[in-house]
Structure 1
């Protein structure tokens, strides 16, 4: 499978982000756009776009008439909640060694609610993939992905299911996952979930309930994710709207 090469802006953004993480900027001040452009051999427009993305991420902030600076608080953000990350990447960003286990793969008829969300007929077959993510061997995230059986076009093995769900959708369903519509939902651990995540019964949990869409804006997966937040803290930056 061919992967699209990162754009020049993405490359510049990654380079500056690495310089920030390596503490290469004296007093946390980002050089002027012209200086960065000359240093990296790119246009000021590319630098400006890269810095704008870093500002959106919270890695830098601008002071009008003073300059651009490293945002040390923003660097504590390990993942962007509005971006699609594999949980393996999330765990690595938190300095864990990730591993996965497939708990179950079940085919079941779609109930009324799932059918409506996935725009299929009630009773249509769904494949439910139950997966556990571990951080340094300790269970931290459990996911359940419901995929319409009708879009699965290639045979698959347990090894295929170990990969991130967007890889499975692309390689075995010919569906490019482009975005999720996500709800963050507080919930109480069921006995099975508590046992799986090594939690006391009735523990409070944060969960994601998400519908994933393809390039044609069609739903292709309903996903549930359950987190042990003492091991994996979800953090974001909220800004004033001007």
Structure 2
């Protein structure tokens, strides 16, 4: 297991936005804007105009427009010709639609001083029964499994198990994992999927399932037997509608309470 502590950055620090750089530009620009919004870096809950944002982030106006459209669709901002782009201040990181962008670590960092991760990334010979059913694969399919516990102020808050068929990941990643060499996974499975040839995650089907802590040993969160908790089950799909990964996240909802934003 490896641990990586993260501390929150101060909120409300006004100033220029960092340049985005290269890569999946529209998505990275969306993340940069969202992080600035969550840190309350825009006075009056209003974003600058598109040319100013493009100049600060070092991207084109077209990329800025795409990012703003994504944030509007997620319910983070509202846009109108007469009044520009206005932030909806009541929409926080706990919105389930933002989970893809900020991840569980980002959700916890909003309210806790220290967030750290203990994780194991390995190849297993077989999928779990749930993963096999969700992905429609055989019991003999080798899997890449990411087992991760996220701690908030010293207490386990979230336990994630994410699995993807070994053949789906990039060749270099496969070689490293099969050889037992060190591999530092990205924060979210959505980022990890950027490197899967032809199988980048396009959308996910999310199921929130209420459960109760069992009497048996092995439960990874610090909760008494019989305590209610939430399980988030996600089947992740490529743009071709092929199921490419399965995630199961156990959440102590005393740390995270999800909200859904509905827009017209």
- Same fold, judged at TM 0.5 (above): yes
Matched, 1:6 2:25: yes
Distance in 2 separating the partners of 1:199 and 1:19: 30
Distance 1:190 1:72, change over 3 A: same
Matched, 1:101 2:137: no
1:34-53 paired onto structure 2 within 5 Å:
36=49, 52-53=69-70
Distance 1:17 1:3, change over 3 A: closer
Paired residue for 1:154?
A: 175
Query: What SS does structure 1 have at the residue aligned with 2:183?
Result: helix
Distance in 2 separating the partners of 1:150 and 1:19: 37
Distance in 2 separating the partners of 1:142 and 1:206: 11
- 1:135 deviates by 1.7
Equivalent residue in structure 2 for 1:220, among 244, 252, 259? 244
Equivalent residue in structure 2 for 1:209, among 226, 233, 241? 233
Query: What SS does structure 2 have at the residue aligned with 1:196?
Result: coil
CA deviations on 1:84-115 (whole Å, 9 max, x unpaired) are: 24333333344543322136857353466643
Paired residue for 1:187?
A: 211
Q: TM-score, normalised by structure 1?
A: 0.68
- 1:200 deviates by 1.0
CA deviations on 1:188-236 (whole Å, 9 max, x unpaired) are: 2234678521111121111111112335432222110011111122223
- 1:140 deviates by 0.6
Matched residue count: 231
Paired residue for 2:262?
A: 238
- 1:121 deviates by 2.3
Paired residues of 2:50 and 2:61 also in contact (CA < 8 A): yes
5+ residue gaps, structure 1, are none
- 1:18 deviates by 4.5
Q: TM-score, normalised by structure 2?
A: 0.64
Query: What SS does structure 2 have at the residue aligned with 1:209?
Result: strand
Q: Which runs of 4+ in 1 moved over 6 A?
A: 41-48, 62-68
Is the radius of gyration larger for structure 1 or structure 2? 1
5+ residue gaps, structure 2, are 1-20
1:76-115 paired onto structure 2 within 5 Å:
76-81=92-97, 84-85=100-101, 86-102=103-119, 107=124, 109-110=126-127, 114-115=131-132
CA deviations on 1:21-55 (whole Å, 9 max, x unpaired) are: 23523xx5x48xxx835755789988776654444
Distance in 1 separating the partners of 2:242 and 2:165: 12
Equivalent residue in structure 2 for 1:176, among 193, 200, 204? 200
RMSD: 4.4
1:56-67 paired onto structure 2 within 5 Å:
56-61=73-78
Paired residues of 2:94 and 2:257 also in contact (CA < 8 A): no
Structure with larger RCO (C-alpha < 8 A, sep 6+) = 2
Paired residue for 2:153?
A: 136
Paired residue for 1:117?
A: 134
